[in-house]
Structure 1
Amino acid sequence: MQNRTTISVIITNYNYERYIGSAIDSVIAQTRPADEIIVIDDGSTDRSRERIEAYGDKVRAIFQPNQGIKVISNTGYRISSGSVVLYLDADDRLYPTALELVEQAYRPGVAKVQYDLDVVDEFGNPAGRRFCNFSTHMNEESTARSFARTATYVWPVTSGNAYAREFLSRVMPLTPPESHDGVLNTIAPLYGRVVTIAEPLGQYRIHSRNISRSSEDGRRANIPHFARRISIRKQEFDILRQHAAALGTKLPDDDFLDNELVFTNYRLMARKLSDEHDDDAKRSLGDLWATAVSCILRDPITFRARMKHLIWISSLALAPRQFARQMISFRFNRTHARAGHQPSTQIASPNP
């Protein structure tokens, strides 16, 4: 008889008193209850502790001095017991059937189950898009083929992944260059199958304190520091190479960043902003554009998304430098610009 799947949800929090209750409520409301809900507060100085303690024994609360996301992610794994582990950022939330659908998709041999997330603004207003906006044609086989050919595949942020303990037990604890999701998602196909659910099972909240929107000193950046983001991704790929070598798995000889749409975008935007990393400045603008187009045509995304990406990348390549800066600023701040100042009392529908 197959052992019963157990699910641990680990909610990581630091000074998110505004959102933490919504995240916990979304896990408590699951049609398939979590076997354990662990909330780790990393030394918050706001009223987070009060919010968390109000849930009593509905959650396992851990309060620790501030040590950073790398430490609390390792702590969460160490004290959890589920055969499937979800990390939920305290500013995100799950839809009611998320755990039920994850359990249905999971089986032995799967390293992780991933799923789409609806993007919302700081007030919970829908932004009208998804992360990653998976194509319905994306499946285990196409993901495995993509990884074998390019050493990468399309994957979501932290809250869009459910990891098998069988996988985590072979690689944890980690000391990633920034956060665990980048490394875990990068190396997961080395350790098992990746199952994709091409529908949103939760919400990813865009606001001024997202890690990807912060500068090295923690301040909000209207435009990401592309050279820094590229450097972090290169370090994650170095870790991938180390794991592949240890497992005896051969990887392609390519520049792996050239196979990721996000980073072909970043490289092109960095060129327009004169914010390039290492040897990228030696490449021609035409080469950067052509590489991005190749990713757009190859990635398992919807036709509508493909056309939007093609229009964006071509417009950016042709734009004068100052206009390109304005385009980039708008792209990374459009959710905030649409948010206004009135909080919404509605949560985005899982089927927009």
Structure 2
Amino acid sequence: MQKITIVICNYNHGRFLADAIDSSLSQDYPETGVLVIDDGSTDGSREIVESYAGRIRALYKENGGQVSAYNDAVNMIDTEFVILLDSDDLLYKGAVSEVMQAFEAGDSVKVQFRLDVVDSAGKPSGKYVPHSVAPVDCGRLLRRGWLYPSPPASGNAYRTSALKKIFPVPEASSNRYGADFYAIYGVALLGAIAMIPKSLGAYRVHRTENTGIDFANSDSIDKAPRALTKRWSILRQLARSRLGIELPPSFHDFSLEKAYFCSAVYRASFAKRWRWVSRQSHGYLRSIVANPFWSYKKKIGMLALSSLCLLPYSPLSDFAVRYISNPLARRRL
């Protein structure tokens, strides 16, 4: 039986950390180890980790950001398989067993699975991520610049040997976060991706009461485009220097184009909405019409929904924008 490590990267999430550790220790796959990387927490997280002495491994480091924590984690992992679990998320009891079955069924470099979206108290929202199924050969489309549908960090399991070809990632003040971006998309350049079409864990969202256009725990609507563009640039450099793969200068991603679209038309005047669509909507429309991961039905539905954002009746238009941008607001709207 092959071994797997669940790595929990934590920074000041002490109020959730015990749940993440307990969910990892309760896995029904016998050869499961747990490693906690504490990135200089100041909220008492260290005491929580120390209470599990003898049951888990731990590294206490100075605060350096998520990229730094991932670099240390990948360097420390001594098993061929790993799940990188965020400290405010958790895994269901049979998650590791299902992941290992998927790895054993083929030569995948990554196995991904859905995550149920819960609020800060752990209450289910009725939503899950991701909504689309990624093809096995994500790398082929990635080489053309298409970011494939993936769950957040905690919904991914990797072959460590593949991760070690991507990490360490350069650490800089402008690149402290988003380490899962490099793992999720970098590894896809190295082999097949397997998808388990069921929820095997929970993704905790801390802003479920916000009914605006921001979504979950992601970067702000203004910051997200800049952050993703920076990460793509770094991934291109890593792919070129370490893998001999040349990625295109720009990438295609509905989430990013959605951020541009929603920030431009939300609560904007009727004239401003149409001006943006007539002059700047090419990328947004391309991310829908040419999206290789969506069915025709989904594309038509999204185009129809987007058209509602351009109606002169602003309450309905803004409703449509919120519906597109923030899935967590849908059950209330």
State the TM-score, normalizing by the size of structure 1. Answer: 0.76
- Distance 1:224-1:79 versus aligned 2 partners, 3 A rule: closer
Helix, strand or coil at the partner of 1:44: coil
Partner of 2:62: 65
User: Alignment identity in percent?
Assistant: 28
Work out the CA distance in 1 between the residues paired with 2:126 and 2:46: 33
Q: 1:213-265 CA deviation, whole Å, 9 max, x = no partner?
A: 9x9xxxx9999533421112112222332244343435457x41xx3111121
Distance 1:68 1:236, change over 3 A: closer
Residue 156 (structure 1) aligns with: 151
Q: What corresponds to 1:171 in structure 2? A: 166
Q: How many angstroms apart in 2 are the aligned matches of 1:306 and 1:104?
A: 33
SS, match of residue 56 in structure 1? coil
Paired residue type of 1:82: T
Whether the 8 Å CA contact 2:95–2:201 is kept in 1: the answer is yes
CA contact (8 A) 2:4 2:80 kept: yes
Aligned to 1:193: 192
User: For 1:7 and 1:33, how far apart are their aligned partners in 2?
Assistant: 9
The change in CA–CA distance for 1:325 and 1:274 in structure 2 (over 3 A counts) is closer
SS of residue paired to 1:226:
coil
**3-state DSSP class of the match of 1:91?**
coil
Measure how far apart 1:306 and its partner are: 5.8
Q: Quick check: 1:233 aligned with 2:228? A: yes
Deviation of 1:288 after TM superposition, in Å, equals 4.3
Deviations along 1:96-145, whole A, 9 cap, x unmatched?
A: 1111111111157532111111111111111111110244xx4414x345
Distance 2:187 2:169 in 1: 13
Q: Which residue of 2 aligns with 1:349?
A: none
Distance 1:238 1:265, change over 3 A: same
2:256 paired residue number: 263
Partner of 2:272: none
Change (3 A) 1:82 1:158: same
Contact 2:181 2:231 in 1 (8 A): yes
Gaps of 5+ in 2: 269-275
1:80 aligns with 2:77: yes
Deviation at 1:294, TM superposition (A): 1.4
| Distance across 2 between alignment mates of 1:190 and 1:337 | 35
For 2:245, which of 246, 249, 260 is the aligned residue?
249
* Shift, 1:314, TM fit: 2.9
Aligned to 1:128: 126
SS at 1:24 equivalent: helix
Give 1:82 shift: 1.3
Amino acid at match of 1:128: G
1:69-94 CA-to-partner distances (Å, cap 9, x unmatched) read 22222122222211012111111000
Is the alpha carbon distance of 1:332 and 1:62 closer, same or farther for their aligned partners in structure 2, counting shifts above 3 Å?
A: farther
1:319-330 maps to which residues of 2 (within 5 A)?
none
User: After the TM superposition, which of the residue ranges 172-181 and 241-250 deviates more from structure 2?
Assistant: 241-250
Equivalent residue runs for 1:1-352 within 5 Å: 4-106=1-103, 109-135=107-133, 138-141=134-137, 143-175=138-170, 177=175, 178-208=177-207, 225-246=220-241, 247-251=243-247, 255-256=250-251, 259-272=252-265, 284-294=279-289, 298-300=292-294, 309-318=302-311, 335=328
**Shift, 1:327, TM fit:** 6.2
Deviations 1:331-352 (A, max 9, x none): 767748989xxxxxxxxxxxxx
Taking the aligned partners of 1:248 and 1:313, their CA distance within structure 2 comes to 39
Q: Is the 8 A contact 1:113 1:196 kept in 2?
A: yes
Aligned equivalents of 1:316, 1:159: Cα separation in 2: 33
- What is the CA–CA distance in structure 1 between the aligned matches of 2:35 and 2:232, rounded to whole Å? 30
Mapped contact 1:17–1:48 kept (Cα < 8 A): yes
Q: TM-score, normalised by structure 2?
A: 0.79
Residue 7 of structure 1 deviates from its aligned partner by 0.7
CA distance in 2, matches of 1:151, 1:196: 18
From the superposition, tell whether residues 295 and 19 of structure 1 become closer, same or farther in structure 2 (CA, over 3 Å).
farther
Task: For 1:202, give the aligned amino acid.
Answer: G
Q: 1:307 to 1:224 in 2, by over 3 A?
A: farther
For 1:25 and 1:9, the matched residues in 2 are separated by 11
Could you list the per-position Cα deviations for residues 274-324 of structure 1 after superposition, in whole angstroms to 9, with x for gaps in the alignment? Answer: 99xxxxx8982442442243156x324796x66764454333354778976
CA RMSD of aligned residues (A): 3.6
Query: Kindly tell me: are residues 174 and 145 of structure 1, through their superposed partners in 2, closer, same or farther at Cα, counting changes over 3 Å?
Result: closer
Specify whether residues 244 and 45 from structure 1 end up closer, same or farther in structure 2 by C-alpha distance, changes over 3 A only.
closer
Offset of residue 328 of structure 1:
5.4
**How far apart, CA to CA, are the structure 2 residues paired with 1:39 and 1:223?**
23
